[in-house]
Structure 1
Amino acid sequence: MFKKRPEIKNLSPLRSSDRRKLADQIIKDYDIPVPSSSEPAPAEEAATAAAASSSSPPSSQPATLSSLRNSLLPDSTSSARFTTTSGPNQTLLIGTIYVGAHPGQDERILWFQVGKAPRMIPTVYTLWQNPDLVPLLHTPDFVVEQKLAHGSDLMVPGLVKARGSAWDARAKKGAVVAVAGLRRDTVPMWVGTCDVDVCRLGNDLRGQKGVAVKGLHWAGDEVWGWRPLSSGGREAPEALEGWPGLAEDMTSAIKDMKLEDEEDQEEGDADDGGGMALTNNNASKDPQKQTRGSDLAEVVDVPEPTTKEVDDAFVQAFLFALHKAKVDNSGPHYGFDFPIQPSYLISSMIQPHLRHQNPHYNIKKTSWKNAKKFIKHLDKLRLLKSKDRSGGETVILDIDFDDAQVVNFRPYTLPKPKPKEATAAGEPDSAASSSFSSDPSVGQKITIQNLYRVSSKLVPTLLPSKTDFYSGAQIAAAVKTYIEQHPDLVGGQGASSIKLDPFLANNVLGSNPTPDDQRALATGRIMRGALQRRIVDDSNLCQPYHLIVRGDSNNTSEKKPKSGPPPQIHLSIEKRTGTKVVTKITNLEPFFIDPQLVAPELQKKCAGSASVGQLTGGRPGLLEVVVQGDQRKIIIGDVLARRGVDPRWVDVVDKTKGKK
């Protein structure tokens, strides 16, 4: 259902009372036993960590109920509306997501509701935290990887159960169930609703057809990969306690099974749901068919380096950047423009030259924890000179390119960048890709048109209609045509000035006259340029409108101009909590820029934290982006420039400077 990224509105925190009501409704809908204080249940054991980090429950409620609620819906849960499309007909779906964080984990989508159905659907993150919350069904790993992970439904022949066991009695038609593979048989990887009474199926499923479970969500879709400021899902654990696994003999049993594609699918299978039939095939001698699905590629985990190894890697990357600059450039500064900002140091000098390109090597993993202390360390090594600016920011003033560490540096081989995998037309980017790589505003061309609606005082003598929109050039051309049609206005004191006739004196200058107008009326003449400016600048004569166009600036027939002068993107450099400096960006929406997609890019480019929230004092839906440090150069010269924003359209206010 979530093959395409949903459009998520603003998150709003749940009130404690609403969270308790939702948790109690979940307990009722899924028939979860409420553990007693004397007999702890499995759900209570899974919620122990959550209960430990939560506040003490009220005396009127048992602690076990509170911990169960926290395990289902943590204290920090927020909700938001979403829209997406699903299925071959691109059916519009509207619903609600619930975002929360379990202890020691980051925020994830834990539950969602679709349409007007009140039932809450758990995501895999909730299932990993709450054992046996829903029935757990099983299917071969190649079914999970080749079909279910691509949005297909689970067919009846694809179900597998241990020999001699029975189907879960809760797996009735319409019930929410989870599906796991055979290798990690206790880890739910897929969530759906039963299309048939699975609990009534027999032991032999060969030859049966039809959908068993319709898919809703799986590990690998856009809900799994969603994060507040970036994208990328959390890897599934290898095993979980509390979930029913399969018997040990299933590993040997699947070697005698063969994958058969269901050629005759029932009408109505959504999302290309191809069936998988598992049948005994002792006569087959093809080794590839016998072992298909059981030989899975092992995931090689990159060992986490020590803090000292990360520190050394950062210093070596800095030396590498200096060495490369000396080889590629000449002059006293070898292409560097001082002072160097901390964000430029991390994003352009350190990150591209790290020996290992993996998440373990970032500034947060070092002993310095931030770029300021890292610069101070390089200063102690006498590799550079730094200075603390007002506001607490530390910049690099100079670099010693003749230091022995730089001169004797021997470059190492940098890892090759991974090639981007081509995606099929219409398919969304992978969840692991950065969110700004698919930002539609990157590379856009923006044109701002200033338009005017003229007053009835100028109609029809100067312009034909008061309802049409005119550009400044069209108004200037109309003034020129009017003068040419009245040759008696020219003469006497040169072609640059004209006489005032009753129309110009009464309808133009007589409208809210200024001191300049009064002088012109006294002399009876006015300069041509002054007349044109007088008409355009007077809002009583020409009411200003604007039109912001993306792409083809000529295709404006279907666009409606908005009243008032063109908007600007506002950059405010402010102090927060003492000497901490932040840059706040607002009013991005009129320029077709999504603040939710800009924040992750700023976080990476500026090597600092970035957050998105509701604009203070703004109407609902308008967001503001706050990034650490004075980042006006990166924001205007890089981030906004890549999105077609001219620097003239950006208003910068520096509130860190004292009032003069």
Structure 2
Amino acid sequence: MFKKRPEIKNLSPLRSSDRRKLADQIIKDYDIPIPSSSEPAPAGEASSSSSPPASLSSLRSSLLPDSTSSARFTTTSGPNQTLLVGTLYVGAHPGQEERILWFQAGKAARMLPTVYTLWQNPGVVPLLHTPDFVVDQKLAHGSDLMIPGLVKPRGAAWDARATKGAVVAVAGLQRDTVPMWVGTCDVDVTRLGSDLRGQRGVAVKGLHWAGDEAWGWRPLGSGGREAPDAIEGWQGLAEDMTGAIKDMKLDEDDADADGDADGGGVALSDNAASADPQQSRASDLAEVVDVPEPTTKEVDDAFIQAFLFSVHKAKADNSGPHFGFDFPLQPSFLISSMIQPYLRHQSPHYNIKKTSWKNAKKFIKHLDKMQLLKSKDRNGGRRPYPLPKPKASNADAAGESKPSAPDGADPSVGQNITIQVLYRASAKLVPTLLPSKTDFYSGAQIAAAVKTYIEQRPDLGGQGASSVKLDPFLANTVLNADASPQDNPHAADDRRALAAGRILRGALQRRVVDDPKLCQPFYSMVRGDNPSSDQPQPKPKSGAPPLIHLSIEKRTGTKVVTKITGLEPFFIDPQLVAPELQRKCAGAASVGQLTGGRPGLLEVVVQGDQRKIVVGDVLARRGIDARWVDVVDKTKGKKK
């Protein structure tokens, strides 16, 4: 979560009442036992049930010190750079400097601890263990903890709190009582059993670790505090594993004494060998530690064999389309899910940097040359294989023209959007002009209602007359000459009409529709090639229809960019528009969070003044009418 440095706003001190509430919520969420008070009440004073005991106060201060402050933060997380907004809680334990102790992220209200809090409060969350090279080479770089990487305490059960969704800490084998990594369980660890060989999948999803930006933050400068060598209070594992590995060593004298006189010994049966799964697990870890360093060719062969086995296993286990793969595959997915779990040895010697290719891109190109897969560049510019040509339809064979088919990668291309403007009548017009104030009416229906009202009253002007005589309903309800120009932009026209005693028919119809106090505007946006009344229509939304905003701006001197916002209401994904603009405009295009907008709204920025390409090509292909685009040129100077 904190692989990239978060943007932290100004810190503000927590009130004592808020700090106590947060601490009590933490105690409740993590089921932390409250130690009994060791200080008896002074003689002659009765203990008050309303005041918390001293032990509860000390526990609160240990979880959230008295000097705790809070601040909002924003960061991006995940492969899609999803925007994440949350709250940080900064405090200082006695004798230490201020550090980030807790954080809340996203919609989850649960407080999540950092390693600094875990070093100060042993046993707050379950502690799991994994080999040290997994901590140093995988977890410290933001990877998740896989099920085969877990190490279970010998002769003991998993911590009963390590259920699915629970917050857990992870430590290595060298410093087995020092949490170095924090995450949430993706599976129920308590049901994994003792023998983890052959099991696949993510065990714990990472949130924070010693070495990320939250660990390295401090009020002045940067740099985290080094972890201690051991922490009393956490359940260790090193002695159990050491004993398990030592149990596997057999002296020759003992073998001769217990076996035949010739020293031949007795071969263990399969059942005997698997009688102690934990000892078998220790054997696996011992093999990991003692694996000699392989040659580069051996590592290359292991990677290719792992890829072939993963494809074979996917084909055998999945009968659906694409055998469970979601194409195109990302390089990170290929390495983490198709190569790493199936390597012959889970050892630091077997990683992509030890191969002759050195990185995933060259490894994928090598697999392409071996005709094991097809590859393409991330930006879509180079494809080493021809794309299939679409089959000609009957309309093409007959020479008929038809709109271009939507791109497979972007469902918005070729879409047909219809925007219908509707109105809801106020109580002033019901029932004299319109029958209901809950129904929706189009502009044509309101104009027809005004026409019917006039025709039913011949004294107002009669059929065919260009102007209408004002009656009490029109003069007092429709027109409003007493309002200020801010409340009624038509106040001047209303005064002239009242003075003349008449108003034009067309002006009266427009006056009813344009006044939001008479007819509240709504809009309905329908997406589909053939929208019909039989299909369920979306509920109308209040207000005027949305617009796509194009802004031509200057950046850093004379550099001009085109910024596009408001694409989401029109079913357009900005992440898919940016690569198309980059190709068609031959310039850099980027997607980011809309400045000042709510989280999730994005803006696309492309170099140069590209309004013609954006409006006439990119948006037109997605069914956007030019009337729905608001273009503002901010590069021109203001008129004096």
Larger Rg: 2
TM-score by length of 2: 0.41
Q: Which has the higher contact order (CA 8 A, sep 6+)?
A: 1
TM-score by length of 1: 0.39
